[in-house]
Amino acid sequence: MTKETYLSNTVGIVKISDVFETDTLTFIRFGYKRISKAVSDIIKTNEIYLPLASQDDLDNSVSTTEIELYSYVREASKKLWKKPVTNCRTYLDFTTSMDGIDIEMSRFYYNTLLQGSKILNITLKSGRVGLVSNKNGFANLTPSLALLKFSPVHDSRVFPFTPLQSGLDGDALDLWNFKQIDARMGKGVIGIKFTPKNPNDDNLFRGEIWINKTNHEIKT
């Protein structure tokens, strides 16, 4: 059967198909406590009220599902679109390979000025390059040019995809594994590691991201 359930503090209607009265639904919304209700009880009341979560609840909560973890990433992406100007540190690591052999390994550190998803200015602070002995030539991409062309939330024909790209939406859960990691940024911050489900897929970025649980700001 199909039911229409209105969720408080949410705009719109949620349509759920093939739900039985013996089922239990769990409602998760950031900033509120998680609530589980039997469908039979929901039918009687027609409304679900989610209590506000305290700061301790937000600090001590442990995400157990990839859906919850990706929800943080999605909210952070929305926040990034609206952000006016942000100063942040940017790191770029890459390895140049030929025929499966690494021939150059580089790491660069930048001061970066962001406006929403656009890089306004980038300043190289330091960097290092390690060369591997190899007689074959190779093409190298200037790191500054690479970062100026890369946007974490826009699709690119040159760079792999990231979970922050809003066009992916729910498809991200089919492409990446999401795992909670120790939040080195302190209380109130969740650390999320994302890796492609297909480890050989070069079209997907892998990495780590730290997000404020309350306002969904990306920590740098």
Residue 177 CB contacts under 8 Å (≥ 6 apart), including other chains: 66, 194, 195, 196, 197
Strand (E) positions, the chain? 2-7, 14-17, 24-27, 35-38, 47-48, 86-98, 101-115, 118-131, 176-181, 189-196, 207-212
Confidence (pLDDT) at 113:
79
Confidence (pLDDT) at 11:
44
The C-alpha atoms of residue 191 and residue 149 are separated, in whole angstroms, by 26
Higher-pLDDT residue of 202 and 130 is 202
Higher-pLDDT residue of 109 and 3 is 109
Q: What is the pLDDT of residues 106-128, one digit of tens each?
A: 777 777 877 765 677 777 776 66
Residue 108: strand pairing partners = 92, 127
Whether this model's pTM surpasses 0.85? no
Average pLDDT over every residue of 147-153? 67
Confidence (pLDDT) at 8:
41
Confidence (pLDDT) at 195:
92
Q: Kind of pairing, strands 47-48 and 35-38?
A: unpaired
Q: What is the pLDDT of residues 155-171, one digit of tens each?
A: 777 778 888 875 556 67
Length of the chain: 220
Q: How far from the centroid of its chain's Cα atoms is residue 217's Cα?
A: 11
**Domain limits, the chain:** 2-53, 66-212
Q: What is the pLDDT of residues 195-212, one digit of tens each?
A: 999 988 888 888 888 888
Q: What is the pLDDT of residues 22-66, one digit of tens each?
A: 787 777 665 677 777 888 887 787 677 777 766 555 555 544 577
Range ranked top by mean pLDDT from 10-14, 61-65, 211-215: 211-215
Cα–Cα nearest to 138, from 93, 94, 107, 97: 97
Residue 191: strand pairing partners = 181, 210
Decide if 3 contacts 13 (C-beta within 8 A): no
